Structure 1
Amino acid sequence: MKLNALLKTLGFLALAATPVVAGTSAPAKNPKNPYIAPPVNDDLGITASLGYDTNYVWRGLNFGQHWVRAGLNGSLLLVGGAAEDGAGSTSLLWDAQYGSLAGDQDHFMPGGAGNASYQRVQLGAALSHDFGPASLSLGYRYYRNMGVLSTLGGMNDGQEVSLGAATALGPINLSSSANYDFVNDYWYVDLSASSTITLTDAISVVPYATIGYGHNMNWQFARNTGVTSTWGRNNTSNFTAITTGIQVPIKLNSRATLTPYIAVNIPMSGVQNLPLNGSPDNACSTVLYGGVTLSVRF
C-alpha cells in the first residue's frame, strides 16, 4: 500500500511540474527558416598602405629615384544622403603620408651627383559633399620637407587650400582640383581622367591621364636657388606635364588590395624650361616609371 501511495504521489508531482518545464523550454527550430545573425559592421573606414615608386614624380617634376612611402587615409560620414546612391551625403576625408628617397638618389644635385636625402610628410583633410551628378570638396594640406635636398635647395614647408570636383561621363571618371599654396605663393590646377575595366572579380585595369597647369610655380623651392627661377614672381603661368599610365588593382581578399602600375611623365614647357640639365635622367626629362601599393582596409 505504501509503495502504491508513493508511486501515485510521484506521478502527481510529475504531472504538476510538466506545464512549468514546457513553459520555460526553448522553442523548436524551424529548419525551413533558420535564424541568421546579422553581420557585424566592424569596418572603421581606415585604409593603411605601403608603396614603392621607381621615381617620385610630383606635379610634373621628377624629384628622384626609389621612393618608399606609407600612409593612412579614412572617411567619416557626417551627414547621410537620402538617395540610395548616397547623393546628399557629406563626409570628412583625411590622410597622412610619409615618403623618402631610398638611397638618396635625387635629381637636383649639380652634375647629376644624385646624393641628397629627401623626406616628405603630408597631412590633409577635406569636406566632401555628394550632389549626385558630381561631388565637390574643400580641403587643406600641410607639407613638411626634410633632408639634405630640402636644406640645400632652400625648400619651404607648404600649406595649401584646395577646391576639388569629381564626376562621371559614362565610363569615364573626371576629377579636377585647384590648389593654392599660401606659404610659397603659387597655384597648381590639374585635370584627371580614368576608367575602370573589370577583367575578373578580383582584377581590374584602370587607364588614367593627368595634365597640370601652374601659376608662379616653385614646387616649394626657395625662388633664389635657381631650381625654379624661370617662373619668378612675374605672374608666369604655364602647363607643367602630362602623366599617363595604367593601374592594375588586384583584390587579395575582402580587405587587402595590391595595385601595381606603370606610367610615363611627359614634361611640358613649364618644366622643360627649368635650369636642371645636369644629367640625362634629370628632373625635367620624360621618364617611364612604375611602382606598387599594398593597401589594407580596417
Structure 2
Amino acid sequence: MKLNALLKTLGFLALAATPVVAGPSAPAPKNPIAPAPVDDDLGITASIGYDSNYVWRGINYGQHWVRAGVNGALLLVGGAAEDGAGSTSLLWDVNYGSLAGDQDHFSPNGLQTVGIKNTSSFQRLQLGAAISHDFGPASVSFGYSFIHNMGSLANGSGLNQLPFGPGGGYGMNDIQQLTLGVNTNLGPINLASSANYDLFNGGWYFDLTAKSTITVTDAISIVPHAGLGYGLNYNAGWTQASRNLYGGGGIFGQSAAQGGISGWTALNVGIDFPIKLNSRATLTPYVAFNVPMGPMKNMARSATNSYAPFPGVPGGPATAFHSVCYYGVTLSVRF
C-alpha cells in the first residue's frame, strides 16, 4: 500500500511540473533563417597618403606631397534591378594636400642673390559634389568642384617683387569647374572619362582612364591603370603672367599671346597594389610613370636655359614638365 501511495504521489508531482501548452507544439523549422545583419556602413571613406611627386593633370608640381581626404556616397533613389541599376546617388569629397619641405618645381634656382627663394610652399584644398545615376551599362555623373590653391607658389610671393616687378600678377587662381563623367565596364576593364570646364579661368580638360583588377589572394590585388589627358585652352589655373614666365615668353611654350594648352597633355601609367588589412581598412602602395606630351612636353626646357624673361639666369621650371617615375601609398578606412 505504501508503495502504491508513493508512486501516485510521484506521478502527481510530474504532472504538475509539466508546462501547460495551448494547442499542439509547432515543429522546429528544418532550415532556420538567420536574422539579417544590421547595416552599419555609413558610406564614408577616410584616407591619408604620401606621393613622392605631386603630379596633377600631367604637371609635376613638386616633391613629397602629403594628403588627407574624406569621401562618401549617399543613396538618393534605390535601383530596381539586382545590380543596382536605376539608382541615383550623391557623391561628395573633401581633400587637402601640401608639399612637405616646400620642394616645388617652378621657382627659379638662379635668383637667390636678389631675394627670390628657390623653393615655394604650396597647399591645395578641394571640395566636390556630384549627382551620379546608374543606367546599367554605364554610370553618368554631373558635378561641381572648388579647388583653393594656397602658399607662396599660389600667391606669387617672391615673384611679385623686384626684379620681376611689384604686383606682376604671378601665381595661381582658384579653380571652379563643372564635370561631366561617364564610367563603364568592358569585360574586365573599367573605363572612366570626364569633361571638365573651369568656370573661373576658362578652358577645358578631358581625360580617359582604364584599369583592371587582378586578384592574387582574398586580401591582395594588382591594379594596372593608364590615363590620357587632353586640354583645350587649358591653363591649370595659372595666371597669364605665370604662363608667360614658365613658357619662356609664350603661353606654356606656345607663341600665342593669350590662351593655354590645346592638345594632348600627358600619358600616365601605373600599378596599384591594394592590400586589405581587415574588412574596412586598405593599404595601397603604387608606382607610376608620367610622360608629358605635345605642347606640355615642349615646356620642359633644360635647367641651363635662361629663365624668361631674364637672359643668362638659369633654373627654368624644367622638372615640372619632364617625364617622371614616382611612387606613393594610401591608407583608407571605410566607415
TM-score by length of 1: 0.87
Residue 53 of structure 1 corresponds to 51
Residue 251 of structure 2 corresponds to 230
The answer to whether the 8 Å contact 1:221/1:227 transfers is: no
1:189 to 197, 206, 211: 206
The one-letter amino acid of 1:230's match is I
Mapped pair 1:161 → 2:178:
yes
CA 1:107/1:29 → structure 2, altered by over 3 Å: closer, same or farther? Answer: farther
Which is further off, 195-204 or 150-159?
Answer: 150-159
Cα distance in 1 between the residues matched to 2:79 and 2:142: 18
The answer to whether the 8 Å contact 2:203/2:260 transfers is: no
Mapped pair 1:263 → 2:288:
yes
SS in structure 2 opposite 1:104? strand
Q: Which has the higher strand share?
A: 1
Shift in Å at residue 114 of structure 1?
4.5
Written as runs of structure 1 = structure 2, the 5 A alignment for 1:167-246 is 167-225=184-242, 226-227=245-246, 229-231=250-252, 233-234=258-259, 237-246=262-271
The answer to whether the 8 Å contact 1:216/1:233 transfers is: no
CA 1:130/1:31 → structure 2, altered by over 3 Å: closer, same or farther? Answer: closer
Cα distance in 2 between the residues matched to 1:86 and 1:208: 25
Residue 132 of structure 2 corresponds to 128
Mapped pair 1:284 → 2:284:
no
Gaps of 5+ in 2: 1-11, 111-116, 157-169, 304-314
Shift in Å at residue 36 of structure 1?
3.8
CA 1:104/1:85 → structure 2, altered by over 3 Å: closer, same or farther? Answer: same
TM-score by length of 2: 0.78
CA 1:174/1:60 → structure 2, altered by over 3 Å: closer, same or farther? Answer: same
1:102 to 90, 100, 103: 100
The one-letter amino acid of 1:171's match is P
Written as runs of structure 1 = structure 2, the 5 A alignment for 1:16-95 is 22=20, 36-95=34-93
The one-letter amino acid of 1:129's match is H
The answer to whether the 8 Å contact 2:106/2:317 transfers is: no
Shift in Å at residue 218 of structure 1?
1.4
Paired positions, count: 287
Shift in Å at residue 270 of structure 1?
2.4
Shift in Å at residue 282 of structure 1?
1.1
Shift in Å at residue 34 of structure 1?
6.2
Which is further off, 271-280 or 251-260?
Answer: 271-280
